[in-house]
Amino acid sequence: MSIILKNINKSFGAFKALSNIYLKFQSGELTALLGPSGSGKTTLLKIVAGLEQADRTDGAGLLFDGESVADDPVNQRQVGFVFQHYALFRHMTVFENIAFGLRVKPRTQRPDNKTIQEKVNRLLSLVQMASLANRYPSQLSGGQRQRIALARALAIEPKVLLLDEPFGALDAQVRSELRRWLRQLHDTIHVTSIFVTHDQEEALEVADRIVVMNRGVIEQVGTPEDVFHRPANKFVMQFLGDVNVFHGRIESGHAVFTEAPDGPKESEARMLVRPHDLLIRRTSEVNDNGVQAKVYRVLTAGSVVKVELIDHQNRLIQVQLSHERYRETPVKPHEDVILVPHQPHVYAGEEKWNGNYVI
């Protein structure tokens, strides 16, 4: 089922949580709402679920498959909602938790006991928890609880599955395991899904499409490829992974990053480069266009080599390279080198700079 959001606004008192949100979620797609805390992503999710109401503004609309649901109460929207802290019914067994959505259906639509049994058992094996049907939530681990919460949401055959920071409360290892599992699950059931996260890695790994949000507005919508390699603006670039920032200025139509200090505020320029997009060259080797820097530390213990350097403006620069690459130019601390940016993203103020630049 497709979801369309039109001109969604939400204020809490004087605080504007969401402004002018337009979004379309394709049927069967797994979308991540990614942003720092306070960016409005959870509020947006709750508006889709009906747990929050959008402000009544002109042209505001929420459509499921082209039909407005903005006035439908939560319990008639048929959305599966998975809470960050699971919100399992603590006095019910795992089985009864999953069966809940079926047991509260109006009498005419309620399946009989046998059908409920079969359905719950099917869901239990789908989430690989068949042996724990008679446990209580307090007897389960965090990861197990989250799976049950998911099975419970799926029991009502939701038109859309909404997950609020589904892995936020889990430790790192369980988290990456569940991430992969969620992706697989989505590939088997193909229900339109939206999940909220502040973890860029999670979004990049799991989602078909990412909506990057900041301070109640959408910064960029795109595939993981798009947002990572072609960030729309400085915020997206900085939020999705580590970046090195080089300071410069705009001078007669050029962005200049030579040694001179920052210019006046209106001509500020920034060059953002990811740590793996910087090449380290020995000063003696080539006369490439690059930034002068001095090696500060070399960390070789890890899957990649991390080199920390201090640039001519006295800022810390991080470079990541493969062990093979490092063996070609094995720089040592205190060595003077040239850093050649491979894929620099240049910004004038907050906007992308498409003109020339000088390093």
Contact footprint for other proteins (CB under 8 A): 49-51, 74-81, 83, 85, 87-92, 100-101, 103-105, 149, 152-153, 155-156
For residue 229, CA distances in Å to 155, 215, 274 come to 38, 22, 10
Rounded to whole angstroms, the Cα distance separating 100 from 32 reads 27
> Please, which residue, 194 or 339, has the CB nearer to other proteins?
194
Q: In whole angstroms, how close is the CB of 188 to other proteins at the nearest point? A: 22
For residue 71, CA distances in Å to 5, 24, 67, 162 come to 14, 19, 11, 19
Q: In whole angstroms, how close is the CB of 154 to other proteins at the nearest point? A: 11
Q: In whole angstroms, how close is the CB of 86 to other proteins at the nearest point? A: 8
Q: In whole angstroms, how close is the CB of 75 to other proteins at the nearest point? A: 5
> Please, which residue, 101 or 290, has the CB nearer to other proteins?
101
- Asked if 81 and 193 touch (Cβ cutoff 8 Å), the reply is no
Q: In whole angstroms, how close is the CB of 115 to other proteins at the nearest point? A: 16
> Please, which residue, 90 or 282, has the CB nearer to other proteins?
90
Rounded to whole angstroms, the Cα distance separating 219 from 351 reads 12
> Please, which residue, 77 or 179, has the CB nearer to other proteins?
77
Q: In whole angstroms, how close is the CB of 345 to other proteins at the nearest point? A: 41
> Please, which residue, 136 or 296, has the CB nearer to other proteins?
136
Q: In whole angstroms, how close is the CB of 67 to other proteins at the nearest point? A: 18
Q: Give the closest residue to 10 by CA, choosing from 49, 45, 44, 51.
A: 44
Q: Annotate 128-189 with three-state secondary structure.
A: CCHHHCCCCHHHCCHHHHHHHHHHHHHHCCCCEEEEECCCCCCCHHHHHHHHHHHHHHHHHH
Q: How far apart are the first and last CA of the chain?
A: 49
Q: For 170, left (φ over 0), alpha (ψ -120 to 50), or beta?
A: beta
> Please, which residue, 156 or 217, has the CB nearer to other proteins?
156
Distance of CA 49 to the CA centre of its chain: 19
> Please, which residue, 103 or 229, has the CB nearer to other proteins?
103
